[in-house]
Amino acid sequence: MLTDSPTVKNTGHEDLADIKKPYVQRYFTGPYRRIQNFVFAERFIIGVYLLSRVLILLLAYVNTIIQHSHLSTELSNWDGVWYIRLAARGYPKHPLHIQSTLGFFPFYSMTMWVFARIFAGNLLISGLFINFVGGLISSILLFKLVEGWTDTKSARRAVVLYNLFPGTVIFSMVYSEGLTIPLAMGCILLVQQRRYVAAGVLAFFATATAPDALALVPVLFFAFFYELRHYKKPLRKAREALIGTVVGLGGIASFGIFLWIWTGTPLASYEAQRYGWKESTTPFALYDQAKILIREFSSKHFGYSSVNLNYVVALLGALYLAVFLWHLFKPKLLISIPALVWTLGVSFLALTSARTPPNPRLLLTAFPLVAVAAYKFSGKGLKIYLGMSIVLLIYMSSVTFVGIALRP
């Protein structure tokens, strides 16, 4: 009959649509749910970290009003200028005995250049984004490490103390520690899990980022000897640890080979640091800095010479380092041997550096020291320590943002 509806042939397209719809939903909602679950699981760490970043950025903004400065200048102060210049212009084609981009390792600036493609070519925003994410990752890894060494309560305290430590201003500036520290933490965590090749890969990128990351090489080398001694047969893990050590050295080795081809000498970066920044390694570094500080405080110079706060911070940092290293060796505090080797390596580099003493940035890099404070302090002692840390964070960050009176 004409009033009857025509018979529609079933082509199967409706079934395909029904099948594809859940698949598309899973494709888009799967990552969202994983992110949601991650944020919920790590909400304490994320909350503490975000609050610390708000505090730092608020300080920077207040500084722009008081000091009549620009926010972009503050957040790229000190080494940030050189990292941005390196990402924009690269290295000169011949060795220079003056301050130049040759004095800085490449991987952080390379990463900045890559992310700048996302941020419309803005290298400053790219560098800040990397450090913001790196600081968050380092907070999460610190919690996992400290929880494994002690307990959950100490791990939570460690996250708070870590994020309110004066040196954490670098996570809101253009500084390579935004990559170096999380890479070092990840490497140590993998060494503890006996995943040596993966640890070596992280060490590779770390040693291509900053010279103090070379302290990861003894960590991997110690793992090699540990495997030889405790697990003589089979030697598979010992071989993996040796491979990890060689791979870890590959970062700085690759940089040296590049400089050799590009400038004619693999020591171009070393020479730039030595002659341009007067950097050197000496066992009398702290003694020399103390002499300079005493001379600046003397009546002969005090009338017309301002005191360089970097020397004050250097001596106070050395005292902090000595006290907490002593507590690190106490039997009640159990941290892993790889973490201990890392801390000793960074401490040695800081104490023997003529121009980069144990300032807050390097003390933060030796992150197991935070575990000492988190484990040792509780109650009133914790409140006093935390209060002093917040005061120093506010004051030192404010001075660091403007001028050259105090490096991070």
Q: How far apart are CA 316 and CA 359, in angstroms?
A: 8
Tens-digit pLDDT profile for the chain (408 aa)?
Answer: 334 444 444 444 444 344 444 554 555 566 666 666 656 557 889 999 999 999 999 999 998 888 888 888 889 988 999 999 999 999 999 999 999 999 999 999 999 999 999 999 999 999 999 999 999 999 999 999 999 998 899 899 999 999 999 989 999 999 999 999 999 999 999 999 999 999 999 999 999 999 999 999 999 999 998 888 876 666 888 899 999 999 999 999 999 999 999 999 999 999 999 999 888 888 888 888 888 888 777 755 555 456 778 888 889 999 999 999 988 887 666 788 999 999 999 999 999 998 888 899 999 999 999 888 888 888 888 999 999 999 999 999 888 888 777 888
- Give pLDDT, residue 293: 81
- Give the Å distances, CA to CA, from 12 to 15, 18, 240, 378: 5, 10, 54, 68
**Cα–Cα distance for residue pair 201/141, rounded to 1 Å:** 17
* Residue for token pair 């494994």: 148
Whole-angstrom Cα distance, residue 200 to residue 251?
Answer: 10
Predicted confidence at residue 311, as pLDDT, reads: 85
Find the farthest-apart pair of alpha carbons in the chain and give their distance in angstroms, rounded. 116
